[in-house]
Chain A
C-alpha cells in the first residue's frame, strides 16, 4: 500500500472506530438532520465520547455543547459536519486545526447542485488536502458500524441495523433508508453501512479497500449511480476477490444508450454503456444484481453459508408441487439434481414412509414432522454426491414449523455444505422463518430465488478457481510503423488500405491487397495477388461500402476486374457524389470461413473494450456479441468466445469442422495490444474476420478504424 493509501486506510479506520466524535453544527431542533444525527449517536449506544458543537446552544440533550470544535479540551478522533454547505469549509478548517483527520460531511449543497456548489466542494477538498484529512461525503446519510465495541450510528437513518457480516456501500442516501428498513424486517445484519454521497474525497474504491481487510465483513454490497474510475474499480474488486475470496455484489443504476447512438462502427453502436458494465463486472468477478431483493438474496447465501463446491443439489420438500417448481428452477439455473448413493437411499427408505418420494426431489410428504426432515436432510448432506440442500416447507395443519426450523438449523451447523430454505406462506411460517434468519440460514419466499442464489454462489465459487493469468505483450508488433501511419492520417476515419497497414504492423492476418487508382492498375494488382479478388471502394466519407454498391466480390479474371472497377465508381458517384474517393482496394478473396466480428471501443468509465461475436452485415440485428475490458487474460478471451450463442458454430456443431479458435485468440491479443499502445484509436471494427478450420488460421476481410477527434 502506498503512503497515501495507508493514510486513507488509517483515517477510514478512525471513521469506523472513533474513540471520540464531534458533531459540528448540531442544534436543538428536533426532527432536523443536525439534531437527529447527534441523537442517533447518543441513543444508539455509541461506546465512545460524543461532543456536540453548536454555536447557538449550551447543551444538546443535556450534553454540554461547545461553540467551536477548537474549544473541546480533549483530542477528537472524528468529526461529523452538519453545518449548511455555505459554512462547511469553516468547520473543516477548524477540524484541520484541531488535528482531526477523519471527517464525515453530511451536508448537501455541493457538487450535486452545480454552480456555487462545485466551488464549495473544491474549497473543502483544498482544506482537507492541506491538513491530510480524509472525509466521506458530502451529501451523504452517514456511517454505521455495528461492532459492539463501537456501536456507532453516525447517520440520520432511523434505526441501527442488526449486526452481521455484510458491508454495504451506497452512493444514494435515500436508498440506504429503504435498504435498512428491508434488512431489519428480514433480520439481515451489517458489519459496516456507509452512504458516501458525492465521494469528493473517499470513494467507493477506498471503502472497498478498507472492507477488504475488515475481519467483520464477509460480503460486500455496493450501490453506484456513476462510475468515476472504472479501471480502478475493476482492479480493486479483482484484487479483493482474488486475495480474500470476499464476494462483491453491485447494484448499478442503468444509463441510457446515448453513447451507443452516436457511434460510427458496429462495435460502437452495439457497445452500450450498460452492456459494457455487465461485461466489466463479470470479468472482474463482481456479481451484478438487478434489484435490491436479488442483491440480498445472493448476499445472505454468501454471508451465511459456505460457498457450494459443486452444483449438485438435494431438494427436500413436504409438498410435491413446490418440489417440482424448485426442480424446474434448479435446472433452469444450471444446477443438477444430485443422484443419491445407495446408502443414502437406504437411509431414506428406513426413515421415511413408503409413500415418500426418495428420489430427488425428496418428498417427505405433507404430514412430515421434524423427525422426517431430520432424517432426509442429514442423509442428503452426508452423501458425497450432494453439494448443497434446498429445504422447502409448506404449512400443513400438523407441520411443526418451529421444530423443523430448529432442526434445519441444528443439522446445517453440523455440516460444511450450504443449506438454503423456502418456508412457503406468510403468517403460519413466520416464526419458523424468524428462527432460520436468526441462525443465519438463508430463507427465500420463492423456490426460484433459492435456486438462483445457489447458482450465483456456485458460479462465484467457480470463478475463484480461474487463474486469470495475464497475457504477455506481443513481441512482434511493430509499434513504430503503426505510429507513423496513425500520425500521418489526415482524417479520423481511416480508409481500408491504411487500416490494413496498421493491422499488418501488429501481425494480424490481413489479406494481400493494394490501392488502385485506375482500372488498369487494379488489374495489375490483381494479377500479382492472384485471382479471385475483391474490389472495394476506399473513401474516408463512406463507412458502409455495401450500401453504396461499393463492393464487388469473386472477380476471377482481368476482364471482370476492369468491369467491376468501373461499376463501383459509377455506383458510388451516383449514390454519394460528394464522397472523396481515394481509389479502389484490390484484395485477395478469402477462401470461405466462419464470419466473426472483432471490435474495439473506448468506454468513458472502463477504457478500451474488446468485442467479439457473430459477424457479418447483420451483426447489429443478431447482437450475439460479448465484451471484455482490456487487458484480458486468456481465460477472459476464452470466456468471451464461449459466451456467444454462436460458439457451437466455431466448436464444431452438426458435423462442422472445428474452427481455428486459437487464431481468434491471437487476433484478440494483438488488437488488445493495439488498443493499449494507441489511445488515439477510438473505434475499430474487423467485420468479418473469416475464421478457417482448425490450424488454418483466419483472415481479416474488412476493417474500419476511427481515430479520436482530439488526438
Chain B
C-alpha cells in the first residue's frame, strides 16, 4: 500500500470544496481516493490520507460518511474510515482507522514527549520522599513496592530503572487518536496519546497524558474534565468536570462530579466523586462519593469515605510530610477526621474526630469512636456487622475491569489468613492489656484507648473470628482435595502442605502474600536482568502462591494454638478445628442477623448511611422487579447456616 500525490483534478475539486494547502505536494493519499467528503480543510506540512469510505453513526442515529470537514491539519496521518469535523487544528497526530473527531479545538503534540509516562508523583508524602514514577502499565503492586519499600534502595532503583527503560519506548513526537476512538466537543488536547476504543466527550483540557482503551473496556472521559500530566488506563470513566493534576488512574475507575485530585494514584475499581484527593495512594476499591471529603497523604484500599471525611497531614512543625495508613476494608463515618500519622487496622470503622495520632493496626474489625475528645477503640466490634459482610461480598462482584489484561492483582475475602494474623495479634494485645491488671477505666495502646470492661468480650469475638478463619481455610483445602481425602494419610499430606512456612502476611495494595513470598519476589526482582515484563511474571507467581501459603499458615497456626510440634497434626485436632469453626460460624451468622435487626443502635445504621451511597453509586435502584435487598441478605444468612452444616458434615464424614 503506497501513497501518491494528488492529481490536478483532485486538487481542483478539493479547492472547489473550500480546501487549501500550503503545498499540495505535501498531501498524499491512498487508493481509492474519493475527494467528495473532504470539505473546507486546511492542510499544511506532511499529510497522509487513507481510504475515506464507510459511515459513522452519531448520537441520535444520525449517520455521516467518513470524511474531513472544516478542520486544519498539520503533519497528520489519517488512516481509513476516519471522520473529522470542525477540528480547530491538529499538529503531529496520527488518526487511526475508524477514529472520529468532532468539535475539538486543538489536538497537538509539541516536540518530544512521553505522554505522562515517567512522571513522578508525590504520593503519600506531600513534601516528597515517596516519589512514584508512573507509566501506562503501572500496577498497584509495583506502585506499592516503589512507594513503601524505600528502605530497600536497591529494589527501588531496580524498578525505577526498568520503568525508565519502558518510558523511553513510550517517548515520541507524534500523538495518536487510536483505533475506533471518538473525540467530541473538546477543548485543548496537548501532548496526549489516545489509545484505541477511547471516548472523550466534552473534555475541557487534557495535557501531557495517555488514555488507554480496549475493545472490551473503553476508557471514557466526559464533560468538563481537565487533566494535566496523567495516565488513564482502560475501562475508567472520568466525567462531570473532574480535575486531575499529576495523577494515575488505573483500570475500572470512576471519577466524576467535580472530583479533584493531585499527586494521586487510583487503582482498580476506585470511585471518587465530589471531593478531593492529594498525595493519595488509593488501592483497589477505594471509594469516596461525597462533597467535602478529602483523602490526603494516605494509603487506602477497599475503603469507603463517609461525607465530610477529612485528615490532616500537617503538624505545623516540619511541613505536610505525615502520612496515614488505613488497612483494607476501613470505613470512615460522616465528618470523621484523623490527624496523621495514624494507622487503622483492617475492616475497622472510624467515627468522629481524632486529633491524637494512634496506631490501631493491632486491632482489625474495630470501632474507633471519639468520646469526649479521646480516641476510643472497641476491638472486634465490626466482625459481625452487616456492613462488613456485605462489603466483602460486593467487591468481587463489582470488578468492573473487562480488559483481558488486568494489571492489579487482587485477593478478596474477609476471613483470610491476612485477617487471621491480624486477629491473633489483636488477641495477644488484648491479653497483654488484661494482664496488666489495671483498674483504670481506659487503657492506652499505642495512642488509642480501650475501655477496660470491653477487653474480655472483644477477645471473645476475636476468638470466634479466628476459629472461622482457620476452619474456613482448612475446609477450603479439604474441599479442593475433593474425594481424595484418606484420613490415614491426611496428617502426612497436611504436614507436607505446611512447607515452606508462611508467617506474617502483607497486603500489597490488594494482593495478599506471606512475608517469605514477598521476600522471594523482591530478591528475584533485584536479581533480574530483564525488563518490567519479568516483574509482572514474578508478581503473578507470587499471587498464585496464595492458596498454598494460606494452607501453610493455617496448619502452622493450628499447631501453635494447640501446642503441637511442627511434625504433629492429628485428625482429632482437625476435627476439633472444624467443630469450633461450625460453632463460631453459626454464632457469627446469628450475631450478624441480630445486627441486621439493628439491635445495636450505636453502630449498625452506619451501614444505612453508607449503603445509601452505594445505592447511588450502583444505580441498580433503577431495576426493581426483584426481592428487596435487606430481606435477601437475611435469607442469605439463613441459607448460609444450612451450608455451614452441610459442609461440616461432608468433610467430617471423610475424616472419621
A residues near B (Cβ < 8 Å) are 27, 29-34, 36, 82, 84-86, 107-109, 112-113, 117, 156-158, 171-175, 177-179, 181-182, 223, 225, 251, 253-254, 290-293, 319-322, 324-325, 394, 397, 424-428
Contacts and interface: CB of A to CB of B under 8 A. Distances in A.
Interface in B583-614: 593, 596-599, 601-603, 605-606, 608-609, 611-612
B629 A174 contact: yes
A321 B597 contact: no
B624 A292 contact: yes
Contacts of A181: 612, 615-616
A290 B605 contact: no
B609 A158 contact: yes
B623 interface: yes
Contacts of B62: 319-321
Contacts of B597: 85, 108-109, 112-113, 117
Given A174-B611, A426-B223, A179 B605 contact: no
Contact of A424 (B60, B103, B599, B628): B60
A293 B628 contact: no
A293 B619 CA distance: 10
A253 B627 contact: yes
Nearest to B241: A427
28 contacts: A31-B351, A31-B609, A32-B602, A32-B603, A33-B605, A34-B601, A84-B599, A84-B601, A109-B597, A113-B593, A156-B605, A171-B628, A172-B628, A173-B630, A174-B630, A175-B615, A177-B615, A178-B612, A225-B628, A253-B625, A254-B625, A290-B624, A293-B622, A322-B60, A322-B61, A424-B59, A424-B60, A426-B222
B169 interface: no
B594 to A, nearest CB: 8
Contacts of B593: 113
B273 to A, nearest CB: 12
Contacts of B316: none
B30 interface: no
Contact of B202 (A107, A174, A424, A426): A426
Contacts of B369: 29
Contact of B61 (A82, A223, A325): A325
B334 interface: yes
Given A109-B599, A321-B60, A325-B61, A427 B202 contact: yes
4 A-B pairs with the lowest CB-CB distances in the bound complex, closest first: A427-B223, A178-B621, A177-B612, A178-B615
Given A31-B352, A32-B606, A321-B60, 19 more contacts: A30-B335, A30-B352, A32-B601, A33-B601, A158-B612, A173-B608, A173-B630, A174-B629, A175-B628, A178-B616, A225-B631, A253-B624, A253-B627, A293-B622, A319-B60, A324-B61, A325-B61, A397-B103, A424-B59
B625 A291 contact: yes
Contact of B622 (A29, A253, A292): A292
A107 B61 contact: no
B258 to A, nearest CB: 12
Given A31-B609, A156-B608, A174-B630, A108 B615 contact: no
B444 interface: no
Nearest to A86: B599
B25 interface: no
B475 interface: no
Nearest to A397: B103
A156 B103 CA distance: 46
B185 interface: yes
Given A172-B630, A291-B622, A82 B601 contact: yes
A325 B622 CA distance: 23
A692 B271 CA distance: 66
B183 to A, nearest CB: 15
Residue of B61, B224, B626, B628 contacting most chain A CB atoms (<10 Å): B628
A57 to B, nearest CB: 13
A397 B105 CA distance: 13
Name which of B202, B306, B605 has the most chain A CB atoms within 10 A of its CB.
Answer: B605
Nearest to B352: A30
B209 interface: no
Given A225-B631, A397-B103, A251 B222 contact: no
B634 interface: yes
A29 B602 contact: yes
Nearest to B612: A177
Contacts of A319: 60, 62
A177 B607 CA distance: 12
A652 B622 CA distance: 43
Given A31-B334, A181-B616, A321-B60, A113 B634 contact: yes
B139 to A, nearest CB: 32
Nearest to A326: B60
Contacts of A251: 624
Contacts of B603: 32
Contacts of B201: 426
A180 to B, nearest CB: 9
Contacts of B335: 30
Contacts of A324: 61
Given A394-B60, A426-B223, A291 B623 contact: yes
Contacts of A321: 60-62
A396 to B, nearest CB: 10
A31 B599 contact: no
B118 interface: no
B34 to A, nearest CB: 24
A82 B598 CA distance: 11
Contacts of B185: 427-428
B195 interface: no
A107 B598 contact: yes
A174 B625 contact: no
Contacts of A29: 369, 602
Contact of B608 (A33, A109, A426): A33
A428 B598 CA distance: 45
B133 interface: no
A293 B335 CA distance: 31
Contacts of A223: 624
A253 B223 contact: no
Given A32-B605, A156-B605, A251-B624, A109 B60 contact: no
Contacts of B605: 32-33, 36, 156
B218 interface: no
B345 interface: no
A290 B625 contact: yes
Select the residue from A30, A171, A173, A322 with max chain B CB neighbours within 10 A.
A30
Contacts of B202: 426-428
A254 B626 contact: yes
B333 interface: yes
A253 B626 contact: yes
B322 to A, nearest CB: 25
Contacts of B616: 178, 181
Given A109-B597, A113-B634, A427-B223, A174 B615 contact: yes
A695 to B, nearest CB: 45
Contact of A182 (B334, B601, B621): B621
A223 to B, nearest CB: 7
Contacts of B596: 113
Nearest to A34: B601
Nearest to A179: B621
A156 B611 CA distance: 13
B102 to A, nearest CB: 11
Contacts of A427: 185, 202, 222-224
Contacts of B103: 397
A130 B621 CA distance: 39
Contacts of A172: 628, 630
Contacts of A34: 601
A157 B608 CA distance: 9
A533 B625 CA distance: 50
Contacts of B351: 30-31
A31 B598 contact: no
Contacts of A291: 622-625
Interface in B295-311: 306-307
